[in-house]
Amino acid sequence: MMRGSKGYYSGTRSLLRKPTRARGKPQIGKLLHPYEAGNQVIIKMNSSVQKSMPHKRFHGKIGQIIEKRGRAYVISVPQGEATKTIIVRPDHLEPYTGQ
């Protein structure tokens, strides 16, 4: 009997699935959105772009941008009592409006 896989993307079948008409490359406006330090963002993984994709535990979380590093952003995300720092490209970010 084989054990279940414990890979990086295990258990993400429904998490990374996109609706039929949303498949393909991301929209250019999403990539060009200007983020600044202190802005709050929603981490929403885009499965069509694997580069700089955060871990599945951060999907749907709200974090705060600390700085820009190259093409990516350094984001601080609260997780329980700890605060994690992750590096994510804007493909996997959405602006948080604070509803």
Domains of the chain (ranges; CATH) run: 35-95 (2.30.30.70)
Spatial CA neighbour of 84 closest among 66, 96, 98: 66
Q: In sequence order, what E strands does 1-99 have? A: 40-43, 62-69, 72-79, 82-88, 93-95
pLDDT confidence band for 30 (50 / 70 / 90) = confident
Strand partners of residue 84: 77
Spatial CA neighbour of 86 closest among 53, 40, 60, 44: 53
Q: Is 39 exposed, middle or buried (0-12, 13-18, 19+ CB in 10 A)?
A: middle
- Is the pLDDT at 99 greater than 80? The verdict is no
Q: Give the model confidence (pLDDT) of 35-53 as tens digits.
A: 999 999 999 999 999 898 9
Q: Give the model confidence (pLDDT) of 59-78 as tens digits.
A: 999 999 999 999 999 999 99
Spatial CA neighbour of 56 closest among 31, 34, 88: 88
Whole-prediction pTM value? 0.88
